[in-house]
């Protein structure tokens, strides 16, 4: 699993193969299959290990717990950006991810006042939000033809007709390479720090808004 993480950090998910993993361990590809049943289970273990360090250690008010959880998740992905699509867009990890993460979050949300169906809704909303922003922020750019791809994105923005797209045109300097769909670099090159703070505020504010009225 450690070797797999090294490989993923170095070469990305698209290039991760059992054959490369074996080579990095100085062993024949087929030897790996004595230790693990298949490629997906290697990735599941990688995801589980990475998420271990995301669980907050402190135990503050629920709002701060959630903020801390979001920040820690993003810090982890900054260290391992190539894991972003794996956690955010595949269910592979579900068989291995620690249930402590889940229990702790559920506990915090129920202490906030969510119960029953509301607890489920709030939990799902938090997990979705936790993973959603960062998955997209650190989504990989196409590997083979990255140069051409980057200039296609960039050029069509610079050549944009401000008559046809007035708000976009007016705010282009603020948006170019700093907003989703308008970026030609991923989060490791062009992080969206400010927007992420904004997003976390939105999530916490929205959750407070969702709380059933105290009686």
Site for its own copies in 18-57 (CB under 8 A): 37-38, 40
Nearest residue (CB) to its own copies, 20 versus 195: 195
Answer yes or no whether residue 31 interacts with DNA by CB under 7 A. yes
Query: What SS3 string covers 107-121?
Result: HHHHHHCCCHHHHHH
The three-point CA angle 164-165-169 to 5° equals: 125
Q: How many residues bind its own copies (CB under 8 A)?
A: 84
- Over the window 100 to 139, marking each residue x when it contacts its own copies by CB under 8 A and - when it does not, the resulting string is xxxx--xx--x-----xxxxxxxxxx-xxx-xxx-xxx-x
Nearest residue (CB) to its own copies, 24 versus 39: 39
Q: Which of 172-180's residues contact partners 24+ apart within 8 Å by CB, and which partners?
A: 180/136
Answer yes or no whether residue 95 interacts with its own copies by CB under 8 A. yes
DSSP code, position 143: S
Nearest to 177 by CA among 160, 163, 191: 191
Binding residue (CB under 7 A) for DNA from 10, 27, 89, 202: 27
Smallest gap from Cβ 25 to its own copies, in A, equals 23
Site for its own copies in 186-205 (CB under 8 A): 186, 192, 194-195, 197-199, 201-205
Site for DNA in 39-58 (CB under 7 A): 39-40
**Can you tell me which residue has the tokens 């029953």?**
116
Q: Are 141 and 91 in contact (CB under 8 A)?
A: no
Binds 27, which of DNA, its own copies, none (CB < 5 to 8 A, cut-off by type)? Answer: DNA
Cα 213 from Cα 209, distance rounded (Å): 10
Residue-wise over 182-199: b if at least 16 C-beta within 10 A, else e? bbbebbeeebbeeebeeb
DSSP code, position 161: -
- Over the window 133 to 162, marking each residue x when it contacts DNA by CB under 7 A and - when it does not, the resulting string is -----------x------------------
């Amino acid at each position: 699993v450690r070797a797999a993480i090294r490989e993923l950090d170095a070469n990305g998910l698209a290039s991760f193969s059992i054959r490369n993993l074996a080579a990095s361990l100085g062993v024949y590809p087929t030897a790996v299959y004595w230790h693990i049943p298949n490629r997906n289970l290697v990735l599941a273990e990688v995801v589980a290990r990475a998420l271990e360090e995301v669980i907050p250690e402190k135990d503050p008010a629920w709002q701060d717990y959630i903020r801390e959880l979001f920040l820690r998740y993003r810090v982890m992905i900054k260290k391992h950006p190539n894991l972003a699509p794996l956690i955010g867009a595949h269910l592979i990890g579900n068989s291995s991810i620690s249930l402590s993460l889940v229990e702790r979050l559920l506990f915090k949300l129920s202490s906030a006042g969510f119960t029953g169906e509301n607890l489920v809704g709030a939990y799902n909303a938090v997990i979705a939000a936790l993973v959603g922003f960062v998955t997209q922020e650190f989504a990989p750019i196409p590997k083979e033809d990255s140069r051409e791809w980057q200039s296609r994105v960039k050029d069509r923005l610079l050549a944009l007709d401000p008559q046809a797209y007035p708000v976009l045109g007016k705010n282009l300097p603020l948006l170019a390479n700093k907003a989703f769909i308008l970026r030609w670099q991923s989060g490791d090159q062009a992080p969206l720090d400010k927007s992420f703070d904004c997003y976390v505020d939105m999530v916490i504010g929205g959750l407070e808004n969702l709380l059933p009225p105290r009686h």
